[in-house]
């Protein structure tokens, strides 16, 4: 697996982990100017730790849906270009603003990812769409936001089975979500995020090229 420029492996107390260079955000371990990207706290971090080929190279324009308090999106902004962070809950956005303060390329947006028209006037075309939104209809959110992706861009999605249906078999939930995603995307890879995150599926996809949307 090729790591993005700006993501390295460092030793933290005798344990090797991924790291980005930036100000700490959530009490993570540090090695000089480098901060550990904890895969147990980050779905995208787990995707990288598990060796999924995300296609991230570094310096991309990123739209991040479900930014919460900034745990993962702060790591992304450490190595990416302009990074738009969408979060609908006011309380975590206050922490997100703190994470953005030393990162001039990180732009918090107090918006609902289910309503992309509310921030379409702000967000520029993105190379990467990262989504970690714990809500029913995760595929619909990704499909609605496909409008922001460049034709050669990619979606990096974490599907949380219990957000779709707490009673259903996760495998069945994942199948349904992937089927809906295929209305707008070509699925390149999908992999369980266990042991870092139970009942989660990491997905790498690209916008469909056949003009069906």
Q: How far apart are CA 142 and CA 186, in angstroms?
A: 12
Q: Is 30 annotated as a binding residue?
A: no
Q: Is 46 annotated as a binding residue?
A: no
Q: Is 134 annotated as a binding residue?
A: yes
**Per-residue three-class SS string for the chain:** CCCCCCEEEEEECCEEEEEEECCCCCCCCEECCEEECCCCCCHHHHHHHCCCCCCCCCCCCEEEECCCCCHHHHHHHHHCCCEEEEECCHHHHHHHHHHHCCCCCEEEEECCCCCHHHCCCCCCCEEEEEECCCCCCHHHHHHHHHHHEEEEEEEEEEEEHHHHCCCCCHHHHHHHHHHHHCCCEEEEEEEECCCCCCCEEEEEEEECCCCCC
Q: Is 8 annotated as a binding residue?
A: no
Q: How far apart are CA 105 and CA 79, in angstroms?
A: 10
Q: Is 112 annotated as a binding residue?
A: yes
Residues 160 and 136 sit within 8 Å (Cβ to Cβ): no
Q: Is 133 annotated as a binding residue?
A: yes
Q: Is 132 annotated as a binding residue?
A: yes
Q: Is 128 annotated as a binding residue?
A: no
Q: Is 161 annotated as a binding residue?
A: no
Q: How far apart are CA 69 and CA 89, in angstroms?
A: 9
Annotated binding site for S-adenosyl-L-methionine: 71-72, 87-88, 112-113, 132-135
Annotated binding site: 71-72, 87-88, 112-113, 132-135
């Amino acid at each position: 697996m090729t790591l993005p420029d700006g993501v390295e492996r460092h030793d933290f107390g005798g344990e090797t982990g991924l790291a980005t260079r930036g100000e700490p955000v959530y009490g993570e371990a540090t090695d000089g100017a480098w901060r550990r990207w904890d895969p147990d706290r980050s779905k995208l971090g787990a995707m990288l730790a598990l060796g999924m080929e995300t296609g991230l190279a570094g310096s991309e324009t990123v739209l991040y849906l479900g930014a919460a308090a900034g745990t993962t999106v702060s790591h992304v902004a450490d190595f990416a270009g302009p990074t738009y962070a969408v979060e609908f809950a006011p309380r975590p956005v206050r922490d997100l603003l703190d994470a953005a303060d030393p990162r001039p390329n990180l732009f918090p947006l107090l918006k609902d990812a289910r309503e992309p028209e509310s921030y379409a006037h702000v967000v520029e075309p993105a190379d990467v769409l990262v989504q970690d939104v714990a809500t029913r209809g995760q595929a619909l959110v990704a499909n609605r936001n496909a409008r922001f992706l460049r034709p050669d861009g990619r979606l990096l999605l974490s599907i949380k089975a219990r957000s779709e249906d707490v009673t259903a078999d996760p495998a069945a939930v994942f199948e349904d979500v992937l089927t809906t995603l295929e209305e707008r995307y070509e699925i390149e890879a999908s992999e369980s995020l266990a042991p870092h995150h139970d009942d989660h599926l990491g997905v790498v996809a690209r916008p469909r090229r056949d003009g069906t949307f």
